[in-house]
Structure 1
Amino acid sequence: MPPWLWLFQAALVLTGGLSALLAYYTWDNRERIGALPLCATMVGELVWIGALLVGTAVRGTPTAVFAYQFVVPGSNLVVVGFFVFVLEYTNREEWVRPRYLLALSVVPVAATLVAFTNPIHGRFFTVAGLDATRPTGYLIEPGLGFLSNTVFTYSLVTAGTIMLLGFAVDAAATYRYQTGAMLVAVVVPWISHVLRTLGLVPAGVTPIAFAVTGGALVWAVSRAQLLDLVPVGRHRVIDDLSAGVFTVDREGRLVDINPMGRRFFRLDPEERVVGEHVEDVLADYPTVRNYYVAVADLGEEVQFQAGLDGRYYEIEAFPLRDARDRHVGQTIIVRDVTERTEREQELERQNERLERFASVVSHDLRNPLSVISGRAEVAREADDVDPHLDSIVESADRMGEIIDDVLALTRDGALTREPVAVAALASEAWAHIDSGGATLVAITDETVRADRSQLSQAFENLFRNAIEHGSTDNRAKSNDDTEHTDTDVTVRVGSFTDGEVTGIFVADDGAGFPTDERQRVLEDGFSTSEHGTGLGLSVVSDIAAGHGWEVRVTDSESGGARVELVTGEEPTGSVRQPSTE
């Protein structure tokens, strides 16, 4: 065996290994775009390489000629697989359908049948005699069938290469690396094949070209993310948009329109409108046509809303410029925003009603309530015997608290976050309530980012709740069976760390929340007291939600109630206080 043949076979074995590796990888990832046709390409290359290996191993024998016949199905599978892969890769999936694939397989199947029946008719190739310089040991001359099949395969390779080149011109850098590798993979072996067919180079260049193909594809898969990062075609994005997209040249002629754009203007899917002037296309929609004229005259990026036939549309226009920054056209995007606009309008109406309601509660109710409360206080000072006056004053105070809670529920949700010293703000909030004989103990130096006004409201509600439910009427006896008085109530404010979360808490030494009602105390209208409104803790929950915090209800160390605001962030205070109360 001549030395060059050893190198020939070694190159084929190397290329076969690369092809087998790629065939396995693509089959294992066959659900990805382009993987199956690329796998078929690798299988075809393995058949092609296998035929050449067998032919060289038994060169000069009839078996070598028989093995040579397998080059035909192998090479055809390589070409068809490559062509289908390019169709998928360049986003021409509409051509990758069973009927088209069946038509594409007609010539390869016919060529394979003619090749394997060649001993009968000799129309595919002719064995001209022995030739020691050939890998198979024979001089094989092509016939009409071979030439016809070659025209077919070269046509597909040329078409695929042109599609790849066209895609590479407009593709992003990542895709250019992919397409560049694929172009090397396909062009090198086919140039060598053309040169060998013309007798300009020896047959030994074929495995070298195959090795280049395998190396280029391995690089494309491993480094350029081929199959992992497959480009998504314009039509996949544009055609599936729920917005109408129109592209117009600088003469005002429509050059592209997506399906939603056709539906907007009730255009038949098959109606030919590309090439028509936009003003003619919109002839039945004078209002829209006027909008277009206004946008076209501006020649710059604009966005506005327009009403038409009871519906609302958001219109965006973008000028298109060429590489020389010349204005060449315009893209107009039209979105139907009727539902969104109607929701916004309804929300505005609700907010207006809510503001009027808050105004009534804040002024029209608070003013007469202040009169009632003031007159009752004066009457009670003049006659401290009548028990009804105490009830009137207490009820008036309670109504004031209810008004505060209702206003807190209807306030605007916009937050102004700033660093807030927890202990200082708690002391301010404590001064705003009627604490009676209760005591506040702030055991934290923490600072949190919060809306100062809303956090103060949350503290006030938590303090009122602690005092109300920790009073003599609502507290159980302690272990020594001595009854507490309301002067015993101690409310503590502190900070805690629980695993990876942090927060602040308000705890008391009262009776605590009943275990079976602990999850309900944050609900609107729920109260464990017959005199409660059920709004206090609900307001706290809303304020926490507005800050993105979580509210947790549990027991304090003294057996009372503890409400935690999990801020979820590391507080900025200089001293970390323990979770103890």
Structure 2
Amino acid sequence: MVFGHNAMLVIYAAATLVGLVLGVYLLQYRDKPGVVPLAGSLFATAFLSGPVFVATASDSHLLSSLMIRLLFVGVCTSVLFIFLFSLEYTGREHLVTPKTVGLLSIHPVVVVALAVTNPGNVFFATFEYNPAAPTDIYFEPGVAFVLHTLYSYLLLACVTVLILEFLYSTRGLYRGQALALFGATTIPWLANMVYIFGLVSYDTTPIGYILTGVLYTVAIVRYQFIDVAPIARNRVVDTVSEGVFVIDHDNHLIDVNPAGCEMLAVDSASSAIGHNVHTLFKTNPAIVDMLEELTETPVESTTEFSLEDRHFEIQATPITDGRDRHVGWLILVYDITTRKRRESELERQNERLDRFADLVSHDLRNPLSVASGYLDIARDTEDEADTAEYLDRVERSHERMEAIVDDVLTLARGGATVTEPQPVDVAALARRAWNSVETDNATLEVHSREKIVADPTRFQRLFENLFRNAVEHGIEDGDSHTPENGVTHHYADEPSSESPDTSTELTVTVALEDAGTGEPVLTVEDDGRGIPSSIRERIFEEGVTTAETNTGLGLRIVEQLAQAHGWSITVATSSTGGARFELRGIDRDVSGSRESPSEFTSSGESRK
């Protein structure tokens, strides 16, 4: 009996010491979520085991009586703090409010008050001196004691459920933490039940607290409980779009979020955790080599890699514990495909700007030199008629420079995607565009009674450039050219012995046709001399033209405006041997009004 008494004294003293030491240690990390209530619960266990130790060791009936009553301070506060800790540890810290703490504090205050005063024997049914009892005090529980016990067990059951739920949903390193904490929170109240139900004469609760201290130590030392706490993990790590991987120093995956699982092409984290990264990426040895290079030394590093049509940035950060020991790596993988595409687009735009600058500097130099030369001649000429002629040539050079600037600006600004199209009457817009272009004696025919969905301003610009191209290149001028269908026309860059056709008439036709599959096709064609086969494949390239006075940007602008609408444009030969442009991918406006086919003939002068 003496041996058992002394053994229990050692256990009570050890439980008190364990609670105090661990509580003081944890307070070093009190700035971390969950640490303060956990330290409070450990101090509370010391305040339970300590009074039991004093009551068991003391020969004073009065002191033992006081200690038995005061130990309920430790009992109630330990339950309170461990419940608050479980809320924070499992990511429910938003429930830990002053109101919640205040309500939970009612129980310890009432219980301690009842244990000390015991009015009407409501807490202790009997409370008397008994030298046969380990603490010299024997008591039987009253109604309030039973209610207090049931309430405490209810809270501890909630703690168990919370940690079990977290244990089920967590993984890797956090699962080890959760297992240790699950044991640490359940063993004490199971040990208390042994004593409460009278299975043993000594209070075995402190024995449970010693085991709790051991499990807390395992959680802190083995599973880096303080250094790698999973507070609110599910709301942070699991919801970020970047892949998050935690790798230990042996290159085993110990944690991964859903985005990382998607990158690994696995259904769940459990099928990947525990595997070596060499196994996970065995089909991509280049990734393994890259990871080995990143983790060669424990310093933060970043690199980029491509996988199929995706681009990623990978950042490796060493993980150290509270004693600055390297324990693994945090790998963050960012999908930078969108950024790379934007960078490529910006690079293309910069290249285009460079081409624009070269084009402007090259093409403006010639008309500027011409204008400057004729202006000098005009100043030295006394004949008014000659002066007027020279000034006319200066004016034409200025017009030429204005056209160059206008085309370049249109090309630079026309690439943006059309975002707010609206119903557009094809016939009305074609006529408006025709009126804004010098069309000489050419004729416009529009065969359309429908509306399409487009940007009116840019669609008119598209028409204008197609009409200008037809008038400038379709009307006969110079030597003849025989197109592929045998119809003879003139073309300056392909001389022929054929007799020139002196006709200057040209008909441009706009029509909205059906491709046979229900897809509308908008066509703009002329009956002019057509496009030479030598440049037909390059007709939409910048600078491609058959006239020295043109910039070669007109049809490139047309293609860009079409692409901005999401359309495609192709070039072909019309039935009369002229040029034919076909726009596909357009949308009809089914609610648009219809008009009768119309014909419009320009009344401007012929340009020689």
With structure 2 as the length reference, what TM-score do the two structures score? 0.41
Larger RCO, structure (CA 8 Å, separation 6 or more)? 2
With structure 1 as the length reference, what TM-score do the two structures score? 0.43
From the CA coordinates, give the structure whose radius of gyration is larger.
2
